[in-house]
Amino acid sequence: MARYLLVRFFGFVFVILIVSFITFFLMYSTPGGPFDEKNMPLEPAAKANILKKYGLDQPFYVQWAKYMVNAVQGDFGISFKNQVPVKDLFLKYWPNSLLLGVLSLIWSFPAGIIFGVIAALKRNSFTDYFITAVALITSSLPQFAVIFFALAVFAVWLKWVPYGGWIDHGGSLSTLILPSIIFGMGTVGSLARYTRSGMLDVLGQDYIRTARAKGVSRAKVIFKHAMRNMLVPIVTLFFPVVTNIVSGSIYVELGFVIPGVGRFFLTSIFDRDYPVVMATVLIAAVILSVTYLLTDIAYTILDPRIKLT
């Protein structure tokens, strides 16, 4: 295990270095820069000074290396646009994304599992077909279309929720109800489908029949014997969803005007705020890699037959 983790750790460092290098390269080659040449022309000397201040006069790989050395120490540079450390900006925006993510997680995971179990138990009934069809639809619909539709129905037509979202209404929890429903909808759908097929697989096993035959109650068989084997598909889905939540949803944050990291990333890329873009991609990549590792480790704990090599 220790050797495995060590190998994985070096793989992780390698991947992050490459990803950050590619990101840096993409930003570096992007036409345009942080200067507004047309409306605010600069003296060449002044421009050179500014370039020097932000280290933009050095070769590209030197900039990258310096950035990475600082990033490892928790210093993600200073935002070009806001003139404050990127770290502070993240500390400001991230909690909002996390709040939205947690709100969507706490309802969507239980709901997905419950719907999946119901569908499996009532297999081939109307309930099953209904749940399967709805799950198929919700797991495949694009968020931005759903957001627009929801805003049109609930905000404009029925006026149940305020239009304009968070910023216009001071970040009250009620403005987060609709976003968290939409954010969690896809999870409910895919989780219900995973749970249903996993449950059907397990229920067909001999040991379930044996347990029923020796007199264990139906509920106990489902929740104790079958559920334990359901954890693998749940974990498969859990970590990608957590990644989504931590990195924020661009569409949801944009549609409901929530000041989170996803929205912040988008505005930063429009503003050519390189340090912010770099930091966002870097952090998201780290989270993604770590969740892959955690998923693999979780598998071995849940199913001892899976061996890490």
Residue ranges binding other proteins (CB under 8 A): 11, 14-16, 18-19, 22-23, 26-27, 29-31, 123-124, 133, 136-137, 139-142, 144-146, 148-149, 151-152, 155-157, 163, 197, 200-201, 247, 250-251, 254, 265-266, 269, 277, 280-281, 284-285, 288-289, 292
Query: Whole-number minimum distance, CB 73 to other proteins, in Å?
Result: 22
Residue with smaller CB distance to other proteins, 78 or 277:
277
Are 268 and 159 contacting, i.e. CB atoms less than 8 angstroms apart? no
Query: Whole-number minimum distance, CB 18 to other proteins, in Å?
Result: 5
Alpha-carbon distance 112 to 233, whole Å? 12
Residue with smaller CB distance to other proteins, 12 or 216:
12
* Of 234, 233, 253, residue with least CA distance to 104: 253
Query: Whole-number minimum distance, CB 107 to other proteins, in Å?
Result: 22
Query: Whole-number minimum distance, CB 201 to other proteins, in Å?
Result: 6
Longest CA span, the chain: 87
Alpha-carbon distance 16 to 191, whole Å? 29
* Of 290, 187, 182, residue with least CA distance to 233: 187
Residue with smaller CB distance to other proteins, 132 or 180:
132
Q: What DSSP assignment string belongs to 160-205?
A: -S-TTHHHHTTT-GGGGHHHHHHHHHHHHHHHHHHHHHHHHHHHTS
Residue with smaller CB distance to other proteins, 26 or 167:
26
Sorted by sequence, the CB contacts under 8 Å of residue 226 that are 6+ apart come out as 199, 202, 203, 208
Integer CA distances (angstroms), 98 to 7, 181, 182, 298, in order: 31, 15, 15, 23
Q: What DSSP assignment string belongs to 24-88?
A: HHHHHHSSS-SS-TTTS---HHHHHHHHHHTTTTS-HHHHHHHHHHHHHTT---B-TTT-SBHHH
Alpha-carbon distance 181 to 263, whole Å? 18
Residue with smaller CB distance to other proteins, 39 or 124:
124
Residue with smaller CB distance to other proteins, 113 or 202:
202
Residue with smaller CB distance to other proteins, 81 or 216:
81
Query: Whole-number minimum distance, CB 217 to other proteins, in Å?
Result: 25
Take residue 108 and report the two structure tokens written for it.
């969507």
Query: Whole-number minimum distance, CB 291 to other proteins, in Å?
Result: 10
Residue with smaller CB distance to other proteins, 216 or 243:
243
Query: Whole-number minimum distance, CB 110 to other proteins, in Å?
Result: 23
Query: Whole-number minimum distance, CB 214 to other proteins, in Å?
Result: 26
Chain center to CA of 307: 27
